[in-house]
Amino acid sequence: MALTLGIETSCDETSVAVVEDGRRVLSNVIHSQVDLHRDFGGVVPELAARDHLERLPQLLDLAMDRAHVKPADLDQLAVTRGPGLVGCLLVGVGVGEGLAAAWDKPLTGVNHLWGHIYAAMLSRPDLEPPLLGLVVSGAHSDLVRMPGHGRFEVIGRTRDDAAGEAFDKAARMLGLGFPGGPALDRLARRGDPRRQQLPKPSLPGLEYSFSGLKTALLYRLRDLGESLTEQDRADLAAAFEQSVVESLLEKLDRALEEAAPREVVVAGGVAANTLLRRRAAEVVGDRARLTMPALELCTDNAAMIAAAGHYSGRFPADVDPSLSW
């Protein structure tokens, strides 16, 4: 049995987790900073970093207590080294290095994007690579092949906005608060996408683009102006959501045809979206087995970082804000 302590501070969630053998979550304590950033309409990096630093000690105690684990029981520590906000990453890595030295345990630096894929393995303990993955988050919309543990190859990505970023910006245009994605999801449930026409982005190959769709929504709102009703807003949210989701899945479908994998993972914050969860299951059908992490494991958390740290081998905990696959 191997116990990994995970630390995640790349953006606006502070999280500490203990995971057994990379699969079983013994504890996963998450503190979201949404209340801190709400009035600013987005994440303020300096506030985020300071809040991570203030909350980590308490979250660490909670995670260890809930897992009934003492420092001596741990086999290793795993901390997000990127991608993310530099000040936030520095806090997590600094605390990880300090604890590793004090407790005399090895520390590994984890790629946050890998973490999102590994979240699926916490939700389905028998899931093994090779697999085809779609990671949709606030900063990424990436299609990847994972031939084995700790090995990833990007086969598709976005040319401009990430899916989560597009949802957040659309939510702001629709007058929804921060964070936008979940609010847009809720509003879309009351709308009918057939009542508002928005284009479905379509690029060749496995590339995504959401900027045209965003502009289309902006113009539509401008045209409606004062006459915009509550129902229009809900219908526009539904139409926007449908365009993003169908665009994401069109490329997943193409990648599935090309690679014929047995396992498919759809993960990242946007994988919490209601329509994406339903439609992904329909699109994949019986061609492959689809795994989407449990809702609380889709958005940022330290359990997925611990799982990735367990499986992907040891890497230096060097902060790299623009780390890619």
Q: Which residues bind ligand KG4 (CB under 6 A)?
A: 11, 137-139, 164-165, 167-168, 179-182, 185, 268-270, 272-273, 299-300
Give the tokens for residue 304: 């997925």
Cβ of residue 162: shortest distance to ligand KG4, in angstroms? 7
**SS3 assignment, position 143:** strand
Among Zn ion, ligand KG4, none, residue 306 binds (CB under 5-8 Å by kind):
none
Element containing residue 15 per DSSP (H, E) = strand 13-20
Task: Kindly state the smallest distance separating residue 103's Cβ from ligand KG4, in Å.
Answer: 28
Q: How far is the CB of 220 from Zn ion (least distance, A)?
A: 30
Residue nearer to ligand KG4 on the CB measure, 100 or 236: 236
Question: Residue 305's binding partner, choosing from ligand KG4, Zn ion, none, with beta-carbon cut-off 5 to 8 A by kind?
Answer: none
The structure tokens 């209601």 sit at 274
141-148 and 131-136 strand pairing: antiparallel
Within 8 A by CB and 6+ apart from 266, the residues are 133, 134, 136, 252, 276, 280, 290, 291, 292
Helix (H/G/I), strand (E/B), else coil: 118:
helix
User: CB 321 → ligand KG4: shortest distance, Å?
Assistant: 13
Distance CA 171, CA 175 (A): 6
Q: Which residues of the shown chain bind Zn ion in the complex (CB under 5 A)?
A: 137, 300
Q: What does the chain come to in residues?
A: 325
Out of Zn ion, ligand KG4, none, what residue 252 binds, judged by CB under 5 to 8 A for its kind, is none
Is the CB of 3 or the CB of 210 nearer to ligand KG4?
Answer: 210
Nearer to ligand KG4 among residue 99 and residue 265 (C-beta) = 265
Q: What 3-state class would DSSP assign to 30? A: strand
Binder of residue 179, out of ligand KG4, Zn ion, none (CB less than 5 to 8 A by kind): ligand KG4
Least distance in Å: CB of 13 to Zn ion? 8
Other Cβ atoms less than 10 A from the Cβ of 301: the count is 25
Q: Which is nearer to Zn ion, 117 or 131 (CB)?
A: 117
270 binds, among Zn ion, ligand KG4, none (CB under 5 to 8 A by kind): ligand KG4
Task: Please give the DSSP secondary-structure letter assigned to residue 201.
Answer: P
Q: E strand or H helix at 82, and its extent? A: strand 76-82
Helices assigned H by DSSP within the chain: 34-37, 45-67, 86-103, 112-123, 163-173, 180-188, 211-224, 230-259, 274-284, 295-298, 302-311
299 interface partner picked from Zn ion, ligand KG4, none, CB below 5 to 8 A per type: ligand KG4
Q: Using CB distances below 5 to 8 A depending on partner kind, what does residue 191 bind out of Zn ion, ligand KG4, none?
A: none
Measured over all CA atoms, what is the biggest interatomic distance in the chain, rounded to whole angstroms?
65
Q: Which is nearer to Zn ion, 5 or 136 (CB)?
A: 136
Cα–Cα–Cα angle for 151, 204, 324, nearest 5°? 30
DSSP 145: E
CB of 272 to ligand KG4, least distance (A): 4
193 binds, among ligand KG4, Zn ion, none (CB under 5 to 8 A by kind): none
Nearer to ligand KG4, 133 or 182 (CB): 182
The nearer residue to ligand KG4, 156 or 180, going by C-beta atoms, is 180
User: Do residues 161 and 211 lie in contact, with contact meaning Cβ atoms separated by under 8 Å?
Assistant: yes
Q: At its nearest, how many Å lie between ligand KG4 and the CB of residue 14?
A: 13
At its nearest, how many Å lie between ligand KG4 and the CB of residue 2? 26
Judged by beta carbon, residue 242 or residue 301, the one nearer Zn ion is 301
